[in-house]
Amino acid sequence: MATDTTEVKAIARYVRMSPYKVRRVLDQIRGRSYREALIILEFMPYRSCEPVLKVLRSAAANAEHNAGLDRTELVITQAYANQGPVLKRFQPRAQGRAYQIRKPTCHITVAVAAEVTAAK
């Protein structure tokens, strides 16, 4: 029996947020169904839920439009956040010193695929 698992993904690049904080949210939705992930992201209290939700909706739209998959049957197969470039800023401190402030960015990737059903 051949398995046809079309995986469709969406990427949000240069999100002004630490990848560490985004991974905390992605760990909760990885492996879940699309509808379940939407509910989880809607009610989680973290700021990183907003860009993750946007990427998830984009991945579902890509799956529906480009691959012809049904949104109700989607499952999140991959969800990860890689580190992007770090914006370096300086803040004045005591005795004329410059204190470096690092503002991290990340690239959020979410991949979805149709749920595999058992053959009858």
The proportion of the chain whose per-residue pLDDT surpasses 90, expressed as a percent, equals: 87
Cα angle 110, 13, 112; round to 5: 10
Residue type for 32, please? R
Cα separation values, 39 from 27, 44, 53, Å: 15, 9, 10
Residue type for 119, please? A
* Count of all residues that appear for the chain in the document: 120
Residue type for 61, please? A
Domains of the chain are 7-81+107-114 (3.90.470.10)
**9-31: pLDDT as tens digits:** 999 999 999 999 999 999 999 99
**88-117: pLDDT as tens digits:** 999 999 999 999 999 999 999 999 999 876
| Four-point Cα dihedral 54, 19, 15, 29, nearest 10 | 0
DSSP output for 87-103: EEEEEE-GGG-EEEEEE
Compute the distance between CA of residue 29 and CA of residue 38 in angstroms, rounded to an integer. 9
**40-95: pLDDT as tens digits:** 999 999 999 999 999 999 999 999 999 999 999 999 999 999 999 999 999 999 99
